[in-house]
Amino acid sequence: MMQASRGGFCWTLLLLSCALWQTFSQDFGGQTQFICTSVPKDVDICAATLQNSVPGDDLKTTVMQLRETVLQQKETIINQKETIRELTSKLARCESQSGVEPGDARPGGRRKESGTKNTMGDVSRGPADTLAQLSQTLQSLKQRLENLEQFSRSNSSVQANSLKDLLQSKINDLEKQVLSRVNSIEEGKPGLRNETEQRGRVESTLTSLHQRITDLEKGQRESRPLDKFQLTFPLRTNYMYAKVKKSLPEMYALTVCMWLKSNASPGVGTPFSYAVPGQANELVLIEWGNNPMEILINDKVAKLPFLINDGKWHHICVTWTTRDGVWEAFQDGVKRGSGENLAPYHPIKPQGLLILGQEQDTYGGGFDATQAFVGDLANFHIWDKKLSVEEIYNLATCSSKAQVGNVFAWMETSLDIYGGASKWTFEACRQLN
């Protein structure tokens, strides 16, 4: 009776096993087969089944190995989940510190705040370039403060002096930060602060300084003539520029003159560019890379014999007539060169856009930081005629007979300034070098 009961139980177990294997086969999509084996009537079904499959010790070993594998996989999954949680937490902290919204995928990892100018430029730089730009910015701020100091000596104001002292203190702090950064780079310390976070703090401080110095300079503007000013472009960026409010008329001859001061290398950049719809290089003055300064008219080029990137003020003029494309170049009141066949019989087109400090690759835009003007610019004038040698000499020597441009005359109210370019007092021939 016990044998019959045991045999029935084994048959039941065998049928359940078959059902389970069929289920597993369907779940995993495997190409499996179920094989039935005949067993003599008087043989123990369970024993025969085990004998035909896996010996007892081997089966036990296999089960233990499977159990161990499952436990290892479970442990691995738990560890991976913990790692994911830690990375997520670190990422959230980094985004919080650097000002990035979760899910913000902008290159560089920083969110650009509305209404805030990036004083360090749009192109990411290495440590050496960043330090060079910081040094130039600090030097520009110092120069502007020295000008404010001269103004305050002649116009004593306790409030202006106290604010000037505060700004000087902040600049000193910035210089210390730059010096610390230099030391860290030279010593090769691995524990440098996060580049993006540090750059963000410096940019914020510089923007604040620019704004507060500009506020101080507004006090000067009220007491100076509207033409006694200069534009300063301290950095080679693609966002610092001035836009002339009015366009140019059609011109069959022209003279363009200005004072320039720059020690930028290679090339001082683009003092001005005039673009019209369909022609971005209608009238351009540019010194780019290791090339000499050039004037472009209707995208035709003439090389100019100017040498001005010595950090001193220079007065330059270029004259041109559409007849035979004849041009002349003057530096500091002296004729330095001439030529012809520069866009002959092509009048300068009207209804364009005149930009100071940037070269337009497209009408009103397409600025390239490598072509930007770096330095100081003043007394920019344009005439629709060719000035004589004597008239140009009067301009260069600040004679009382000097003319102002009849197409464009240098006035603060004629310009809109963008991107951190600054204006401060300048009087030609009294502040030279």
The token duo for 380 is: 């920019």
Nearest-5° Cα angle at 357, 356 to 363: 65
Q: List 321's β-bridge partners, or say none.
A: 253
Structure letter (DSSP) for residue 342: S
Q: Cis link prior to 266 (omega < 30° from 0)?
A: yes
pLDDT for 78:
72
CA–CA distance, 386 with 409 (Å, rounded to integer): 16
Whether 181 maps to a domain, the answer reads no
Q: List 378's β-bridge partners, or say none.
A: 230, 259
Whether 301 maps to a domain, the answer reads yes
**How many distinct structural domains can be found in the chain?**
1
pLDDT for 267:
92
- For 62-109, the pLDDT digits (tens) are 667 676 766 766 666 776 666 666 666 655 555 454 444 433 433 333
Q: Determine the structural domain holding residue 309 and report its residue range.
A: 229-425
Q: Mean pLDDT, the chain, as a whole number?
A: 74
pLDDT for 40:
61
- For 366-385, the pLDDT digits (tens) are 999 999 999 999 999 999 99
Q: What are phi and psi of 313, to 5 degrees?
A: -75, 135
Using the predicted structure, report yes or no on whether residue 232 has a pLDDT greater than 80: yes
Q: What mean pLDDT is predicted for residues 238-258? A: 96
pLDDT for 149:
58
CATH of the domain at 269: 2.60.120.200
| Complete DSSP assignment for 107-121 | TTS----TT---TT-
Whether 359 maps to a domain, the answer reads yes
Q: Is 307 helix (H, G, I), strand (E, B) or coil?
A: coil
- For 297-353, the pLDDT digits (tens) are 999 999 999 999 999 999 999 999 999 999 999 999 999 999 999 999 999 999 999
Percentage of the chain modeled with pLDDT above 90: 42
CA distances from 321 to 138, 274, 303 (A): 43, 17, 16
Q: List 330's β-bridge partners, or say none.
A: 317, 335
CA–CA distance, 301 with 286 (Å, rounded to integer): 10
pLDDT for 226:
87
Whether 400 maps to a domain, the answer reads yes
Using the predicted structure, report yes or no on whether residue 190 has a pLDDT greater than 60: no
pLDDT for 113:
34
Q: How many other C-beta atoms can be found within 10 angstroms of the C-beta atom of residue 149?
A: 14
- For 274-300, the pLDDT digits (tens) are 999 999 999 999 999 889 999 999 999
Question: Is the four-CA dihedral 203, 206, 212, 214 of positive or negative sign?
Answer: negative
CA distances from 144 to 151, 391, 425 (A): 11, 32, 10
Whether 75 maps to a domain, the answer reads no
* Helix ranges, 155-245 (H): 158-187, 195-221
- For 116-154, the pLDDT digits (tens) are 333 333 334 455 665 666 666 766 776 666 666 566 555
Q: What are phi and psi of 268, to 5 degrees?
A: -80, -15
- For 1-19, the pLDDT digits (tens) are 444 444 554 454 444 454 4
pLDDT for 51:
52
Question: Is the four-CA dihedral 357, 361, 364, 365 of positive or negative sign?
Answer: negative
pLDDT for 258:
97
Whether 394 maps to a domain, the answer reads yes
CA–CA distance, 430 with 433 (Å, rounded to integer): 9
Using the predicted structure, report yes or no on whether residue 47 has a pLDDT greater than 90: no
Yes or no: say if 403 and 387 are a contact pair by the CB < 8 Å rule.
Answer: yes
Whether 160 maps to a domain, the answer reads no
For the chain, what's the residue count?
Answer: 433
Longest dimension (CA), the chain: 137
143-147, Cβ contacts within 8 angstroms, sequence gap of 24 or more: 143/232, 144/213, 144/217, 144/232, 144/422, 144/424, 145/171, 145/213, 147/424, 147/425
Q: What mean pLDDT is predicted for residues 402-427? A: 92
By C-alpha distance, which of 378, 382, 365 is closest to 418? 365
How is the beta sheet containing 294-297 ordered, strand by strand?
A: 300-303, 294-297, 279-287, 269-276, 353-356, 241-244, 415-418
Structure letter (DSSP) for residue 192: P
Question: Is the four-CA dihedral 18, 23, 27, 30 of positive or negative sign?
Answer: positive
Whether 399 maps to a domain, the answer reads yes
